[in-house]
A and B are shown apart, each in its own frame.
Chain A
Amino acid sequence: MNSKKIFFLFLGLLFLSLHLATDLWAVQKIKIVTTTSTLANITKEIAYDKVDVYSIASPKQNIHFYAPTPRNVLKVKKAEVLVHQGLDLEAWRGPLLNAAGNPRFLGEGNFSIDVSKGISLLEVPTSLSRAEGDIHLYGNPHYVVDPENAKIMATNISEGLAKAFPQDADYFRKNAEAFNRKLDEKIKDWLGRMASYKGTPIVTYHRSWSYFVERFGFVIVGEVEPKPGIPPTAKHIAELAKVMKEKSVKVIIKESFQENSTPKKIAHETGAQVVTLAQAVGETKEARDYISMMEQNIQLLEQALSAKKGI
């Protein structure tokens, strides 16, 4: 046997032994990969110590334009369950699954949990054209910021896990119910605090707050982006400022990864206030988990609106 053959045999054996060692070394927890940090948090609330959860997209980056890394590919390759937000929010999900090549997540198998099932979608397009900007095929996918939808998401995760791991079904369902009860109490509180601001006109940067607005009764009178995903133009900014003055809009909502300069410029011209809210757990320091993220969002809005009301 020549030295080349010995070298390749050695490489083969090394690969095989690493493969076996990795399986033996692994802690016997269910390996779950979630596409977002919010899903990771809700999954942990439901499965606690039974799972090892890894979240793919950084909450500090725009979810639409995230570029998966080799670490993400490895994690998806090794995962037993994938939890995702469905629809076309994560445009990179398909290429990531192709790169990982984990057959568990192809098609509508038991191991791929789509949390959007059962959510009443808003802004479902009646026709598809990029003339309307970067619109979404199935409707607005930013449903996470409605806490009532978070309850549906939690139920979907628990049912998905129960289906994949029937031996722990009761455990997942019990925890999901407990999470939803906690949310019910908070929703009551949040609705109460926001009740006096019902009908308040607001402006958002991107069309990502429709579900939040629907739940708490605000009215969106415009967006900083002329159309979804299209950067603001001078003409649009002037038109928006005019509408804001007419309708006495006092708040512009944006996310942390969106630029500050345009909203600040509009705010300066109209006397409005720019409020940075979180769409994902971990996007801001205060958004440690789903409930604290929503609490922080409500609190910031409350402060901004009460200041403008002179309360």
Chain B
Amino acid sequence: MRLWSALVLSFFVCVLVCNEAHANEGALGVFRSEMETLKQMVQGLQSQVGELTSTVKSQNEVIQKQSLKIEALERVKELTPQQATAQPIPVGAPRTAGIMGFNPDIGLVGDVEAKLTQNKADEKGNNTIALKELELNLAQVVDPFSRLDAVISFNDSLENQNVSIEEGYYTRWGLPLGFLGQIGKFRSKVGKQNLLHLDQLDTVDYPLVVKDFFGEEGLASSGARLQNMIPNPWDIPIEITGEILRGNNGNSFSGISRRPIFNSHAKTYFDVSQDANVELGWTTLFGDENPPITIINSTGSAVSYTRPEGQDRYGVKVFGGDMTFNWFLPEGRKLKWQNEIYFQDRTSRTHANSRPWGFYSLLDFRLSQRFSAGVRFDYLEPLNVQGQDHHTIGISPYLVFWQSEFADFRLQYSRLDFASDREKSDNALFLKANFLIGAHKHPVQ
């Protein structure tokens, strides 16, 4: 009986224990499930926090970028109120609306020269200041095949105030065999400096030989020009130019001739190195002689030549050679050495000298963005001085101050020892200002 009671009691104890264990297991399961739910909630929250963090980060970047832009814009506004960044306009869109967009490019170049000189024979005034030239440049494409360029000059010299057409020529591209044609009035393709306008020169004036042979401002004449590059399989640039010019231009040629002046020019070019190049050119001109003139001979007396037989047909032959060396140095500096030589073969004696010749050598050094300096040496056996060993020698050092691309000031000293015994040596000091407004592009020479 006691054993039976013990067994029943043990059974009940076991049942109770088992029930308790079962109850604990259920609670544990619930706890686990709750834990899982909580874990998922934490993960969800973590992911939300991550997203928020990245959003804040990207917003911070945007804010930083905007701050940079605002700072930059404020700076631009401070420095250049006219030039705050604006909405981009369509690239290449004309800025002038309507029919005005077809107006030609217009530029105005001013050239004021002050001069101190010892030369008492100077008719233009010894010590003077003058607006030497005001050049109006007009250029525009005419149609898909051609363009028109014009340079009109207003002069304020002592003798007369006038307006002259310096250049006015029509260019036609795409002629047979690749020729380019020009008609009108243009600066003749003679050497290098003759092609340039006064404001484009390194010095304040043209070289003596150019002035003596072709006039105070070089040879510019009405006529026609054909130009081309000689094609060759080696791609050597050889440019040839032929011109027919009105015959009454230049000091060397007749003032009354009805026959034209013929000019031919050839040039080639080669690279000496990556930073240096050389250009070589050759000019030949044929024209009529000048009419009779009064000249001063070597003894200082005036002599008049009268030719009974009229003009010589193509009695003047001018030959010239030019060489330009360019060397591009680091930091925007540049050295240029330019030389031109001309000599004449004249069949008559309308000018005193039947074999005039001359040359110049110019060294120009661009020292910096602001300054350049150079010197030109001139040698000339002029047209109007007779006799051997009579030559004019000139030396002209100069300094240029480049205020900007559009305004510069030149100081030049020139010493001239004249060929004529009558004229004393001259010392001259020039101060010249060039300034330009509007559109002004120099043609490729």
Chain A positions near chain B (C-beta within 8 angstroms): 15-16, 18-19, 21-22, 25-26, 58, 60-62, 65, 67-75, 77-78, 86-87, 91-92, 94-96, 98-99, 101-103, 106-108, 114, 116-135, 137-139, 198-199, 213, 217, 219-222, 227, 229-231, 256-260
In the complex, identify which listed stretch (B32-40, B268-276, B298-306) lies at the interface while the others stay far away. B268-276
A126 and B229 contact, CB distance less than 8 A? no
Q: Mark B322-364, 1 if CB is under 8 A from A, else 0.
A: 0000001011100000000000000000000000000000000
Given contacts A91-B441, A96-B444, A116-B91, 12 further A-B contacts (CB under 8 A): A21-B231, A22-B232, A65-B405, A69-B279, A70-B229, A71-B269, A71-B271, A99-B443, A101-B171, A130-B406, A134-B406, A259-B368
A95 and B177 contact, CB distance less than 8 A? no
Closest to B369 in A: A231
Check B258 for interface membership: any CB of A closer than 8 A. no
Q: Which among B95, B235, B239 has the greatest number of chain A C-beta atoms within 10 A?
A: B235
Q: A18-B232, A103-B173 are in contact. Are A258 and B331 (CB under 8 A)?
A: yes
Closest 3 CB pairs of A and B: A101-B173, A99-B444, A25-B233
Residues of A within 8 A of B437 (CB): 130
B88 and A124 contact, CB distance less than 8 A? yes
Residues of A within 8 A of B233 (CB): 21-22, 25-26
Closest to B233 in A: A25
Residues of A within 8 A of B369 (CB): 231, 259
Residues of A within 8 A of B368 (CB): 231, 259
A70 and B279 contact, CB distance less than 8 A? yes
A60 and B91 contact, CB distance less than 8 A? no
B331 and A259 contact, CB distance less than 8 A? yes
Residues of B within 8 A of A198 (CB): 64, 68
B72 and A74 contact, CB distance less than 8 A? no
Cα of A75 to Cα of B268 in the assembled complex, Å: 14
Q: A16-B177, A87-B91, A103-B174 are in contact. Are A219 and B68 (CB under 8 A)?
A: yes
B141 and A106 contact, CB distance less than 8 A? yes
B83 and A132 contact, CB distance less than 8 A? yes
User: Which residue of A26, A134, A219 contacts B71 across the interface (Cβ within 8 Å)?
Assistant: A219
A220 and B75 contact, CB distance less than 8 A? yes
How many whole Å from A128's CB to the nearest CB in chain B?
A: 8
Check B414 for interface membership: any CB of A closer than 8 A. no
How many whole Å from A52's CB to the nearest CB in chain B?
A: 11
User: Which residue of A135, A217, A258 contacts B65 across the interface (Cβ within 8 Å)?
Assistant: A217
Residues of B within 8 A of A124 (CB): 85-89
Chain B positions near chain A (C-beta within 8 angstroms): 64-65, 67-68, 71-72, 75-76, 79-80, 82-89, 91-92, 95, 141, 144-145, 147, 171, 173-174, 177-178, 180, 229-233, 235, 237, 239, 267-269, 271, 274-275, 277, 279, 328, 330-332, 368-370, 402, 404-406, 437, 441-444
How many whole Å from B5's CB to the nearest CB in chain A?
A: 85
B144 and A94 contact, CB distance less than 8 A? no
B85 and A137 contact, CB distance less than 8 A? no
How many whole Å from B418's CB to the nearest CB in chain A?
A: 36
Q: Which among A94, A119, A134, A220 has the greatest number of chain B C-beta atoms within 10 A?
A: A94
Closest to B76 in A: A123
**15 A-B pairs (CB sep. < 8 Å):** A18-B232, A19-B178, A70-B269, A87-B92, A98-B171, A107-B144, A116-B91, A120-B88, A122-B85, A124-B88, A130-B406, A134-B405, A135-B83, A199-B67, A213-B72
How many whole Å from B80's CB to the nearest CB in chain A?
A: 6
Residues of B within 8 A of A213 (CB): 72
How many whole Å from B235's CB to the nearest CB in chain A?
A: 6
Cα of A124 to Cα of B442 in the assembled complex, Å: 26
Q: Count how many pairs of residues, one from A and one from B, have CB atoms less than 8 Å apart in the complex.
A: 179
Q: A103-B144, A259-B369 are in contact. Are A126 and B92 (CB under 8 A)?
A: no
Residues of B within 8 A of A68 (CB): 444
A73 and B237 contact, CB distance less than 8 A? yes
How many whole Å from A291's CB to the nearest CB in chain B?
A: 22
Closest to A120 in B: B88
User: Which residue of B83, B271, B279, B405 contacts A123 across the interface (Cβ within 8 Å)?
Assistant: B83
A60 and B229 contact, CB distance less than 8 A? no
How many whole Å from B200's CB to the nearest CB in chain A?
A: 12
A69 and B405 contact, CB distance less than 8 A? no
A73 and B229 contact, CB distance less than 8 A? yes
B406 and A131 contact, CB distance less than 8 A? no
A129 and B72 contact, CB distance less than 8 A? no
A132 and B237 contact, CB distance less than 8 A? no
Residues of B within 8 A of A78 (CB): 231, 235
Cα of A73 to Cα of B443 in the assembled complex, Å: 12
Residues of B within 8 A of A62 (CB): 332
User: Which residue of B174, B274, B328, B444 contacts A73 across the interface (Cβ within 8 Å)?
Assistant: B444
Cα of A77 to Cα of B227 in the assembled complex, Å: 12
Residues of A within 8 A of B404 (CB): 130, 133-134, 229-231
B68 and A98 contact, CB distance less than 8 A? no
Closest to B172 in A: A101
A15 and B268 contact, CB distance less than 8 A? no
How many whole Å from B70's CB to the nearest CB in chain A?
A: 10
A22 and B91 contact, CB distance less than 8 A? no
Cα of A128 to Cα of B86 in the assembled complex, Å: 13
B235 and A95 contact, CB distance less than 8 A? no
A219 and B232 contact, CB distance less than 8 A? no
Q: A60-B328, A220-B75 are in contact. Are A98 and B147 (CB under 8 A)?
A: yes
Q: A70-B237, A86-B92, A132-B82 are in contact. Are A101 and B180 (CB under 8 A)?
A: yes
User: Which residue of A61, A91, A119 contacts B328 across the interface (Cβ within 8 Å)?
Assistant: A61
A71 and B91 contact, CB distance less than 8 A? no
Cα of A19 to Cα of B240 in the assembled complex, Å: 14
B405 and A74 contact, CB distance less than 8 A? no
A77 and B178 contact, CB distance less than 8 A? yes
Q: A70-B267, A122-B85, A256-B330 are in contact. Are A106 and B75 (CB under 8 A)?
A: no
Cα of A130 to Cα of B279 in the assembled complex, Å: 34
A139 and B331 contact, CB distance less than 8 A? no
Cα of A138 to Cα of B331 in the assembled complex, Å: 27
How many whole Å from B115's CB to the nearest CB in chain A?
A: 27
Q: Which among A18, A73, A98, A107 has the greatest number of chain B C-beta atoms within 10 A?
A: A98
Cα of A71 to Cα of B326 in the assembled complex, Å: 14
B328 and A58 contact, CB distance less than 8 A? yes
Cα of A19 to Cα of B144 in the assembled complex, Å: 25
User: Which residue of A71, A135, A138 contacts B237 across the interface (Cβ within 8 Å)?
Assistant: A71
A126 and B230 contact, CB distance less than 8 A? no
How many whole Å from A228's CB to the nearest CB in chain B?
A: 9
Q: A60-B328, A114-B91, A259-B369 are in contact. Are A95 and B444 (CB under 8 A)?
A: yes
Q: A71-B271, A123-B83, A124-B89 are in contact. Are A15 and B370 (CB under 8 A)?
A: no
